[in-house]
Each structure stands twice: as C-alpha cells, then as structure tokens.
Chain A
Amino acid sequence: MAEICLGFVVLGVTAYAVLGGADFGAGFWDLTAGGAERGGRLRGMVQRSMSPVWEANHVWLIFVLVIVWTAFPVVFGSLTSTLSIPLFLAAVGIIFRGTAFALRGQAATINEARTLGAMFALSSVLVPFFLGATLGGIASGRVPVGNADGDAVTSWLNATSVLIGVLAVITGAYLAAVYLAGDARRAELPDMVRAFRARALVSGAVAGVVALGGLFVLREDARPLYDGLTSGGGLVMVILSAVAGLATLFLVWNERYGLARVTAAAAVAAITVGWVLAQDPYVLPDELTLDQAAASDATLTALVISVAAGLIVLVPSLWYLYRLVLQGRLDQQFEPLDQRFRPLTAGDENPERDR
C-alpha cells in the first residue's frame, strides 16, 4: 500500500512538472519576450494557450500535498517546517502568478497588461525555482525528522537545491516551448511556430547540459543521491530520461510536435522515478524509510480507494478537457497582447519602453 501511495506521489509530481511546469515555462517566455510591441504576439500566444488549462494543471500540486500529508504525515510535517521559507515564497508566488494571469486577461491598457504581465512572468520563474529548491533539500538529505529541526536556510540554499531549482525553471521553459510550438501550428501562425521551435531547441539543449553538469554538482554535494542515480534502477532511469530528451529535440527539429509532447513528458517522468529509485528505501534520506514513514494500513487503504475512485471520474474528465483543447474547440481568438490595446491607447503608447 505504501508503494502505491508513493506511486501516486510520483504520478502527481510528474504530472505537475509536465503540465504545471509548462505553465510556469510559458511565463518564462512571457518574461523574456522583449518589449510590449516585439513580444506582443508571443504573449498573446501564451495567454491563449494557458487560459483554459492552467487551473486544472495546478491542482496536481494540491494532489501531491494531500497524498504526502495523508500517507506520509511525519514526512510532511518535517519537511514543511524545515523548508518553510522556500515553501512560503512558492505559495506567495503562486498567488501572484495565478492572480496576475487571470487579471491580465481583463487588462484594458498596455500599461496595466505590462505590470500584470511582469508580475505573472516573474513569479512564474520564482515558483518553480523555490519548489525545485525544496525538492533539492529533501533529495540531498537536509530534512531531519522533527519540527523545524533542519537548518532554515542551508536546507534550501545549497548546491543541490539551486541546481534542481534552476533545472525546474529550464525544464518548464523547454516543455512550454514544445507545447506552444504545437499550439501555434494548430493555430496556423507560422511565425509563432518558428519562434517557439527555436526556443524549444535552445532550452532543450540548455536543460540537457545543466542536467549533465548537475551530476557533478550532486557528486560533490549529495553523494548518496549521485550514487543512486549512477547505479542500478536510478541509472536506467537517467539514461531513459536522456534518451527521451534527445528524442524530443530530434522531433522538434523535424517539427513533429505531437509526439514531442509525449517524449518530453517521458523525460520528466523518468527523472522523477529515477530520483525515487536513487534514494530507495528512504523517503527522507538517512532519516525515514518508506515503511517507517507510511501511515497505518487502514489510512493507506482508504486513501488508495479514494484516489482510485477519484481517478475513475477524473481520467475521463481530463481526457475530455485535453481533447477539446487539442482539437482547438476551446481556443480563444489569437490576439497579440499589445494589439488589444491599440484603439484605447493610440496616443500615449510608448512601446519602446521595456520593462
């Protein structure tokens, strides 16, 4: 039962990284799109693609939290109290991200859109970084069992955390670029396809380099994790992830975006599983094994039944949502973000002023 619940956590983390991560990545491209006029089309594309799905994608995070606190309550209490700073900052970032995004859809002037967009985009970078740093603190064995017993700062400001934080940002950007290139093609916007294809190739390459270079960081900073990732099942998963990552680059190069979505997601899933295998049997390295961390059987059984029953409803619902999205039935009118304000702001607009 504990293994099944751990499987739910892996599923949730993967889904959140693949779906929610891409929403954050879209924010990254929004942030780096340039001035209001130059980046207007790109931002319009981001707005259009993210609107119908980001809330559902975000729920995976809640799913992970709930499974952890129910199935592994001591782990939850220990890690949230020790890692309270990055988690608090991530939570605040999530507020800014979600609200600013929802509000930007209603902005009436370019300056409003620009302020809200900056808030949305900046928090889109900070949230995955802090969440990644949190995972880094866990994976590098910096979370002891207890109420805030770990170091409040070095538990998340350390080489492994920074590595995973940066990797989370880049991976999200990469996934987003792959998806957005596909969306742009469906919307028949060749210039956007080109823009996101180039971004996907560059960020994919960067993600690969950082991930490989990161292995050396882990070797110095988190030796047990490194050993786990370079032997046995962990190694298999790392290799699988690398292969899937390369396959994605290849597919994007050849403009096969539909399949690239799948391989990109597989690369993220493989590395998540690899992480779990690398620190097996521990949930909190050197502190708590899976069996020690698991709640009682009655709870685990009830949780598995609930989630299984939930999935029976959820899977068709999610399928329906993504089918409508991928068929373009929920598509919004594509509208470059700066264009929307033309009639209203014709006199006083200053598109050259970068934020």
Chain B
Amino acid sequence: MIDPNFTLLAVDRVPGVLGGEPQPDLLEARYMQALSLAVHIPIVCFGIAFPAMILFVEGLYLRTGDTTYKALAKRWSKVALILFAVGVVTGTILSFEFGLLWPDFMATFGEVFGVAFGLEGVSFFIEAIFIAIYVYGWDRLSRRAHFLVGIPIVISGFTGSFMVIGVNGWMNNPQGFDVVNGRVTDPAPWDALFNNHLWHELFHMYLAGYLVAGFIVAGVYATAWLRGRRDRYHRAGLVVPLTFAALAAPMQVVVGDWAGRTVAEDQPVKLAAFEGLPRTTDGAPFTLGGYYDEQDGEVKYGIEFPKLLSILAFHDPNARVEGLNIVPADDRPPVNVVRFAFQTMIAIGTALALLATVYLLTWVRRRRLPRSRWFYRAVVAAGPLALVALISGWITTEVGRQPWVVYEVMRTSQAVTAADGLEVGLVFLILVYVGLATAVVWLLRRLSRRPPEVEVGGAPGTGPAGGY
C-alpha cells in the first residue's frame, strides 16, 4: 500500500534554490561523502554501545570491589576517549561536507530537517563534556559520582544517533513540508523528524552499534584467549561485550525484517533493487547470489526460492511486489551495488545470529563458555564481519535511495556543489583517512600492550603482565 502523500510528493519535484552549473564529478562527491560516512559510522557504533559496556563493568567493580573490573573499565574508557576524539574530528568533516558537497540540499531543505541536528549538537556536547569528566575523573571523583557521570554519556550516545537517524529517515521518507511550484514551503520540523522511517532505522542502527562494538571488543579478548591468556581480566573482557552482542544479534534479525517491510511499503523501487526484481510480480521469488543483468532485466546465476520475497516483504506468499519497471530507468538506483550490499548484510547478520545462539545456548544450558577453539576463532572473525555488515547496510539504504537525495523530491545531481576540484578533494581525503586509520590502529595496539596493572596502580586480581 502506498501512502497518498507519497504519490502527491512524487509529482512535486524540487530543483533546489541555489541552482548553478551542472557538476560533472557528481560521483566523486558521492564517493567523498560515502567514504567519510564509512569512516565515521564504525566510531558511532562505539559511541552508542561502548559506554554502556564500560558502565556495566564499572558497576561490577562497585558491587564486588574487585579491581580487575576497575582495571578493565578504566582501560576501556581510555579507548572510548580516543575513539571519541576520532569521532569528533570525523564528525566535524561530515558537517562541513554537507555544505561543501551538497550546498543546494542544505540551502533548500536545511530549514526542514535542521532542527534535528540542533538537538544532535546538544547531545554531542553532553557526550563531550561527560566523557572528559569520566575519563579524567578516575580516582578523583567519588566512586559513586564517577559512575553517575557515565550515565549522561550513555543517554547522549542514544539521543545523538536518534537525531541523525531522524534526518536520514526523513531523506528516505520525506515529510513535514509542502512543495509549491518547485519551492519548499511550510516546513514542519517536528513532523520531518518523526517520520515513518525513524524508528526502524534507529533500532536497526542501535543494535548494529552493539553488534559491531561488542564483537570487535570481544574479538580482541578472544584473540588473547586463543593465545592462552585466560585470567579473570581477559575473561571479563570477553564475556561482557560478547554477551551484549549476542543478545543484540537475534533481535537484529527481527528489526531487519521490520525495516525490510517498511521499505517494501514506502520505497518499492529500493526494495526491487535489493532483490533485482525487474517487473512487478505476484508471489515474487527471492533470488540468492548471482548478478543483475541490466540489458536483459533479470538476475543471472542466482538461486531462486519461489514466493519467498513476497513472504519476507509482506508476510504473504501471494503478495504483489513491485518491480523496477514502475519507474523510468533514470529513477532507479544501481541495482548490483545495492543488491550485493544487501545480500552481504543479510548473510553476515544471519551468521552472527547463529554464533550468538551457540554462545547463549551454551551459557544457559551448561553455564560456561564454549570450549571449541573454533568458537573463539569465529568470535575473532565476527568483529570485522559485523563491520562489513554495517557498511553494507548503509550502502543498501543510501545507494538504494539514489538517484534521490530527498526521496522522489530532489535529485542528488541537483543537490551537489558546482565548485571544481572534487577529484583533488577525493584523493586528498583518501590519503587523510588512510593516515588516520593507520594512526588509530597503531595507537590502540600500543595501548593494549600495556599491562592492566598500570590502570589501578597494583595487581588487579590475578591478572598477569601484558595485554589488552
């Protein structure tokens, strides 16, 4: 079913208030934006999920008085601060890029979605203030005050992503304004923020934050586990993030289903691109693998599961699923990119949910960690895989939105800057990010080699010298 406003909007296109020369290097602008987002989003995951894990461990310390937990929480908080610093600067470049790359998008729609960013700015501020107090306040504030100072970090991590996702949801499901003769009128910022795509995107990303941060941190300690460091410090470092991630993984399957069904209703062309479905079909099949042939308009070398797509998208084996043919070729996203990213996300998401199930079942039934070395190897692999799934998911939704920056209202090509030099900017930016990534990895490895004892100025429980 299609929202009547949606079709109304679809007729009313907005070319942008600034106008200007056409940009030959639109693709470079998109690469720059995509690259910057791909660098920033993994750090956002840590912003969302890591503070809660740190507070959980600090809570264990407060309850038990065991300094092993304190050493772990303190070590993690230092990592969180470094990642926050990187998040600050990579987030800054994103805000600059909104204007540098998409001035007409900002000029035309800034008044519609901007308020959400105002609130995001407040969240970010709170996060910056309290993370500094938290990290530099170890042993200087009372134990209780220090724990309490951590709570605003957890809350603002959530509200900040809430607002940004609100804007992204709005780009996919634009509302809260009218279009009169190609001009935007009557902006209603709150309607824009609370759009139909906000909630599923928010929970999808929120859980993704726990999956990425949880599995990556757990992977570090799983590596230590495989190398024989199995004291309480490393055990806690493994169990806490792994449990967070393992609880999130099955929930993500449910939220993912919800997200897919919302896309099927609101953005049928995007869904058709996920699946490479050329024509509107009753009882549509799901095709696994293969590639979409633009010429022939079909997926080649894929494995077809009859009616499965209709079941997944509408929970009805005979439901009608709309195909790419409902819009002209110019209005379709690049099918193979979107489809490949989508299937990658689904495959990894499923694998992570299985790994989580193994872990949780072992825990519930046997009250212990799995013993197989393969389990720990899988946990090590799960971190990078979760990251790949995260980026794939964002490619799915953002490339799937193309060729629109505001879905079916404004084209990305109308939003882009008319300035020259985008290729130079792109090359420059790639070099900067490669340098940044190298530096951060180097730094975290350096930090991880310091023995945990340095965090508490003495022996933390039974922790041996050296590591993580």
| A95 lies within 8 A of B432 (CB) | yes
- A77 interface residue per 8 A CB criterion: yes
The answer for the CA separation of A310 and B440 in the assembled complex, in Å, is: 32
* Contact present for B417 and A84 (CB under 8 Å): yes
In the complex, whether B128 has a CB less than 8 A from a CB of chain A is: yes
CB of B59 within 8 Å of the partner chain = no
In the assembled complex, the CB of A69 is this many whole angstroms from the nearest CB of chain B, namely 4
Complex alpha-carbon distance, A73 and B95, angstroms: 13
Residues facing A in B77-103 (CB within 8 A) are 81-82, 84-86, 88-93, 95-100, 103
**Contact call A95/B20, Cβ cutoff below 8 A:** no
Task: Judge whether B115 is part of the interface by a CB distance below 8 angstroms.
Answer: yes
Bitwise, B90-133 to A at CB < 8 A (1) or not (0) is: 11110111111001111111111011011111101110111111
Q: How many angstroms between the C-alpha atoms of A103 and B438 in the bound complex?
A: 11
Contacts of B85 in A (CB 8 A): 55, 98-99, 101-102
Instruction: Kindly state whether residue B190 has any CB partner on chain A within 8 Å.
Output: yes
What residues of chain B lie closer than 8 Å to A70, measured between beta carbons? Answer: 110-111, 114-115, 117-118
20 contacts between A and B (CB under 8 A): A58-B88, A70-B111, A73-B110, A74-B107, A76-B106, A81-B417, A84-B100, A87-B100, A94-B89, A99-B85, A101-B85, A106-B446, A147-B107, A147-B418, A148-B419, A306-B115, A314-B125, A320-B129, A321-B132, A329-B137
Q: What 1/0 flags go to A248-276 for Cβ under 8 Å of B?
A: 00000000000000000000000000000
The answer to whether A69 touches B106 (Cβ under 8 A) is yes
Is A94 a contact of B446 with CB atoms below 8 Å?
Answer: no
Which single residue of chain B is at the shortest CB-CB distance from A72? B110
Within 8 A of B (CB), among A50-104: 51-53, 55-56, 58-59, 61-63, 65-67, 69-71, 73-74, 76-82, 84-85, 87-88, 90-92, 94-99, 101-103
Residues on B with beta carbons closer than 8 Å to the beta carbon of A147: 16, 18-21, 103-104, 107, 417-418
CA distance A97 to B126 in the complex (A): 22
- Among B181-189, B198-206, B267-275, B309-317, the stretch that binds chain A is B181-189
Q: Is A209 an interface residue (CB 8 A)?
A: no
**Do A80 and B106 touch across chains, with their CB atoms under 8 A apart?**
yes
A332, CB-defined interface residue at 8 Å: yes
Instruction: Select which of A51, A66, A90 is within 8 A of B118 by beta carbon.
Output: A66
Contacts of A138-152 to chain B: CB distance below 8 A: 145-149, 152
Q: How far is the CB of A137 from chain B (nearest CB, A)?
A: 14
Q: Are B418 and A81 in contact (CB under 8 A)?
A: yes
Please count how many residues in chain B sit with their CB below 8 Å of the partner chain's CB atoms. Answer: 76
Q: For the complex, is A346 an interface residue (Cβ under 8 Å from B)?
A: no
Would you call B436 an interface residue if the criterion is a C-beta within 8 Å of the partner chain's C-beta atoms? yes
Q: Which 10 A-B pairs have the closest CB atoms?
A: A70-B114, A80-B99, A147-B20, A77-B107, A73-B110, A310-B122, A295-B111, A77-B103, A98-B89, A81-B103
| Contacts of A93-129 to chain B: CB distance below 8 A | 94-99, 101-103, 106, 108
Q: Are B110 and A69 in contact (CB-based, < 8 A)? A: yes
Q: Do A84 and B419 form a contact, CB below 8 Å, given A65-B96, A103-B443?
A: yes
Residue of A53, A71, A80, A106 near B114 (CB, 8 A) is: A71
Known contacts: A55-B132, A69-B110. The answer to whether A87 contacts B103 by CB under 8 A is no
Q: B256 contacts the other chain (Cβ, under 8 Å)? A: no
Interchain CB contact under 8 A, B425 and A88: yes
* Bound CA span A73–B90, Å: 22
A55 touches B140 (CB 8 A): no
Taken together as a complex, chains A and B put the C-alpha atoms of A82 and B112 apart, in Å, by: 23
Given contacts A70-B110, A88-B96, 16 further A-B contacts (CB under 8 A): A55-B131, A63-B121, A69-B99, A70-B114, A74-B107, A77-B104, A90-B96, A102-B86, A106-B82, A296-B187, A299-B189, A306-B118, A310-B121, A318-B125, A329-B137, A329-B140
Cα of A79 to Cα of B96 in the assembled complex, Å: 11
Q: In the complex the two chains form, is A320's CB within 8 Å of B133's CB?
A: yes
Alpha-carbon distance A65/B132, docked complex (angstroms): 23
**Which residues from 278 to 314 on chain A have a C-beta closer than 8 Å to any C-beta of chain B?**
295-296, 298-299, 302-303, 306-307, 309-310, 313-314
* A residues near B112, Cβ cutoff 8 Å: 299
Q: Looking across the interface, which residue of chain A has its beta carbon closest to that of B433? A: A95
Q: A91 is contacted by which of B84, B93, B128 (Cβ under 8 Å)?
A: B93
Q: Is the interface of B mostly helix, strand, loop or mixed?
A: helix
Is B17 interfacial (CB-CB < 8 Å)? yes
Complex CA distance for A332 and B137, rounded to whole angstroms: 10
Is residue A32 within 8 Å, beta carbon to beta carbon, of the partner chain?
no
Range of interface residues on chain A?
35 or more
Q: Is B152 part of the binding interface, using a Cβ–Cβ cutoff of 8 Å?
A: yes
Q: Does A243 contact B (CB under 8 A)?
A: no
Q: List chain A residues, Cβ under 8 A from B126.
A: 313-314, 317
Within 8 A of A (CB), among B374-420: 417-420
Whether B439 contacts A103 by the Cβ 8 Å rule is: yes
Q: Is B38 an interface residue (CB 8 A)?
A: no
- Determine the residue in chain B with the shortest Cβ distance to A89: B428
Q: Is the CB of B115 within 8 A of A303?
A: yes
Query: Is A324's CB within 8 Å of the partner chain B?
Result: yes
B447 interface hit (Cβ, 8 Å) = yes
Interface residues of B in 417-443 (CB under 8 A from A): 417-421, 425, 428-429, 432, 436, 439-440, 443
Report the bound CA distance from A238 to B463 in whole Å.
62
- Bitwise interface map of B from 166 to 180 toward A, beta carbon under 8 Å scored 1, else 0: 000000000000000
CB-CB nearest in chain A for B98: A69
Report the bound CA distance from A152 to B132 in whole Å: 39
